[in-house]
Amino acid sequence: MKISVFGAGYVGLVTGVCFADMGNETLCADIDENKVNQLTQGRSPIYEPGLEQLIQSNIKAGRLHFTTDLKRAVAESDVLILAVGTPPREDGSAELKYIFSVAETIGAFMLGYRAVVMKSTVPVGTCARVQAVIDSILKQRGAKLEYDMISNPEFLKEGTAIEDCLKPSRVVVGCHSERAQKLMKRLYDPLLRSGNPLHFMDLFSSEMTKYAANAMLATKISFMNELSRVCEKVGADIESVRQGIGSDPRIGNSFIYSGLGYGGSCFPKDVSALVHAAATLGEDMKILKAVEATNQFQRERFFNKIKQHFEGYLEGKKIALWGLSFKPGTDDIRDAPSMKIIDLLLNEGASVAAYDPEAMGNIKQVYNDKIKLTKTS
């Protein structure tokens, strides 16, 4: 199949590379010229285990290409995958301007049938809005062209993204035509050989499934963090409790580790986007609001423990941090709990020395010389 992926970030790049590896002719398009130049030379702009090798082998095999020419990306492929960012706006809602910008490009340059596949995480109703944008541009052009709008949320985890993409636990597809179903089945068949399911549903349900997944996982984390506080007071060990409940298959072992709370580019923004979207419909998501509050509190609580240890006086103290990315196996520092701790420490006059095997470069860009990045002392 001929596939174009819009956005060569964590999701777009991994998706493009994996589909190329499955034998598809894949073109990754991004507006960031530096990124595209780097990728064309076979260098990955992000750290993700196994990614750079796959980029290089697929470029070599002639199946993987990169471009800043968005028009070409629309014209050359039948399958157009949107994987641009949907970062949080100040009010917590999802910023959709990158999505609509790609929709406009598709409307302006498509020449025949296209499958328009939404892989970015978007609020319910966004696919319908993208359709409206494409339809209105096609109308202006006087072009009567068919296309299918398909929702196909991504569930990969940074750190194991390649594995997750090549062997997904499930694939969710929202669409309304048999043609789209057949196409998506063909696209994913090679990745679902082990029998994992492909769930077909309507567009709205598919869009909501992604938010439901992230909100549920964030809830598990906040629940354990809240429980850990009570454990501490009564003299119980949250680690033992975790083992004791995780082996119950109804609960499971994933996402029940207490710690500094969730961070990263997805959970915080997706939970707040869902809370915001529900509020606009008159629904108050009380559980998720508590999940967010618990998550914020957990970071401050940890910092307060450090402060208490030094009897409330951190001026001139030297504090070391190990681990800066939001989780192991990635260099992504978006909403990393480490940064909140660093900010609070610096604010109180402490000096900070920090180490991370992958994320030092990204952290350096944020803090420059305000903290010492070091492997030793």
Running DSSP on this structure, what letter comes out for residue 247? T
Running DSSP on this structure, what letter comes out for residue 368? G
Instruction: Report the side by side order of strands in the sheet with 64-67.
Output: 64-67, 25-29, 2-6, 79-82, 114-118, 147-151, 171-174, 198-201
170 touches 197 (CB < 8 A): yes
Question: Among the options 165, 175, 231, 266, which is catalytic?
Answer: 266
102 vs 130 by CB, closer to ligand NAD? 102
Quote the least distance from Cβ 103 to ligand NAD, whole Å.
9
Whole-number CA gyration radius for the chain: 22
Rounded-to-integer distance, Cα 20 and Cα 25, Å: 6
98 vs 147 by CB, closer to ligand NAD? 98
Quote the least distance from Cβ 97 to ligand NAD, whole Å.
8
Binding site for ligand NAD (CB under 6 A): 6-12, 29-32, 35, 70, 83-86, 98, 101-102, 120-121, 154, 156, 158, 265-266
Quote the least distance from Cβ 371 to ligand NAD, whole Å.
24
Known active-site residue 266: yes
Residue 259's Cβ-count burial label (10 Å; 0-12, 13-18, 19+) is middle
The residue whose Cβ lies closest to ligand NAD is 9
Quote the least distance from Cβ 353 to ligand NAD, whole Å.
29
Facing residues of 118 across strands? 82, 151
135 touches 143 (CB < 8 A): no
288 vs 352 by CB, closer to ligand NAD? 288
228 vs 362 by CB, closer to ligand NAD? 362
32 vs 163 by CB, closer to ligand NAD? 32
159 vs 344 by CB, closer to ligand NAD? 159
Q: Write phi, then psi, for 201 (nearest 5 degrees).
A: -155, -175
Q: Which of 148, 151, 90, 89 is nearest to 120 (CA)?
A: 151
Quote the least distance from Cβ 141 to ligand NAD, whole Å.
19
- Residue 251's CB: how many other CB atoms inside 10 A? 13
Element (H, E) at 303: helix 286-309
Quote the least distance from Cβ 94 to ligand NAD, whole Å.
8
Facing residues of 3 across strands? 26, 79
* Residues designated as active site: 266
